[in-house]
Amino acid sequence: MKVIACYSFKGGVGKTSTAINMAWFAADSGQRTLLIDLDPQGASTYCFRIKSKKQDWSDQFFSNHKTLVKHIKGSDFDNLDLVPAQLSFRQFDIALSDMKKADKRLRRLLRSLRPYYDCIILDCPPSISLLSENVFNAADMVLVPVIPNALSERPLYQLYDFFDSKDIPVKRIMPFFSMVQAQKRVHIDAMQRIKANRPKMLKSRIPFSSDVEKMSEYRAPIAEFAASKPVFSHYNNLWSEVRQKLKV
């Protein structure tokens, strides 16, 4: 079983779009896939047309896998399940702070799901917190979308520094360029600069596309309404590269 975290310290960079589409491609390739929506905003939950229970269970999330399994819901797609988010997930750090080995609770929880899933995708909130540290310790890969500009570049370097400070292997960080507008000189210059500083950027790039924005309108992955569009191929390339890196 592989765990892929879709994460960015900065919001609005295409993190949730990446999580949704990576989950779809994983499931479509035959992987038994679970998407866990850790973001209290619940964008992945919304796009997959899944409703969360009204009852607050954030204080029980990390207790044991049986509690988590009770909240897993099927989707409209074969091989793809989802743990829906709820607003109470904003309290995760409070719940974790009272637990032993608080920074590794998620890793222990996800390991218990190995008999049921081949791939787990985590849609993470845009913050660096105790929850984030749990995500970094649990993930085989931290997939980081980076808009090619200074405001998106800086949080990437902060993420590397955080990994170093916590002795988490930085090789887990897999950044890629997102929302790229190749006609913009500032994007071209930024991509060259970032690659020079961090040469391990993934080769795949996701262009700026209105079809990505339409995901929230159609409440569906790109494949459901834009499979013939270029952006579908770009996400497919990203999944292929991720799959090759993880050897799944």
Q: Which domains can be identified in the chain, with CATH numbers?
A: 2-246 (3.40.50.300)
The answer on pLDDT for 59 being more than 90 is no
- What pLDDT does residue 53 have? 79
- What pLDDT does residue 137 have? 98
When pLDDT is averaged across residues 84-94 and rounded to a whole number, the result is 94
- What pLDDT does residue 247 have? 86
174 phi and psi angles, rounded to 5 deg: -125, 90
- What pLDDT does residue 124 have? 98
Quote the CA–CA distance of 35 and 38 in Å, as a whole number: 9
User: Which residues, at least 6 apart from 206, have a Cβ–Cβ distance to it below 8 Å?
Assistant: 14, 17, 18, 145, 176, 177, 178, 179, 180, 212, 231, 234, 235, 238
| Cβ contact 59:93 at 8 Å | no
When pLDDT is averaged across residues 152-158 and rounded to a whole number, the result is 92
Place of tokens 């990576």: 22
33 phi and psi angles, rounded to 5 deg: -115, 140
User: Which residues, at least 6 apart from 54, have a Cβ–Cβ distance to it below 8 Å?
Assistant: 86
- What pLDDT does residue 199 have? 66
The answer on pLDDT for 65 being more than 90 is no
Compute how many other C-beta atoms are within 10 angstroms of the C-beta atom of residue 35. 28
Confidence of residue 72 (pLDDT cuts 50, 70, 90): very high
What percent of the chain has pLDDT above 70? 100
Amino acid, single-letter form, for residue 13: V
Quote the CA–CA distance of 78 and 71 in Å, as a whole number: 18
Quote the CA–CA distance of 171 and 40 in Å, as a whole number: 28
User: Which residues, at least 6 apart from 82, have a Cβ–Cβ distance to it below 8 Å?
Assistant: 23, 34, 35, 36, 37, 44, 45, 48, 50, 72, 73, 74, 75
User: Which residues, at least 6 apart from 140, have a Cβ–Cβ distance to it below 8 Å?
Assistant: 2, 3, 4, 172, 246
CB < 8 Å & 24+ apart, contacts of 50-56? 50/75, 50/82, 50/84, 51/84, 52/84, 52/85, 52/86, 53/84, 53/86, 54/86, 56/86, 56/88
* Mean of per-residue pLDDT scores for the chain: 94
- What pLDDT does residue 100 have? 85
pLDDT digits over 95-144, tens only? 898 888 889 999 999 999 999 999 999 999 999 999 999 999 999 999 99
Q: Which two tokens stand for residue 219?
A: 């409440």
pTM: predicted TM-score of the whole model, two decimal places:
0.95
Tell me which residue of 138, 142, 119 sits closest to 130, measured CA to CA.
138
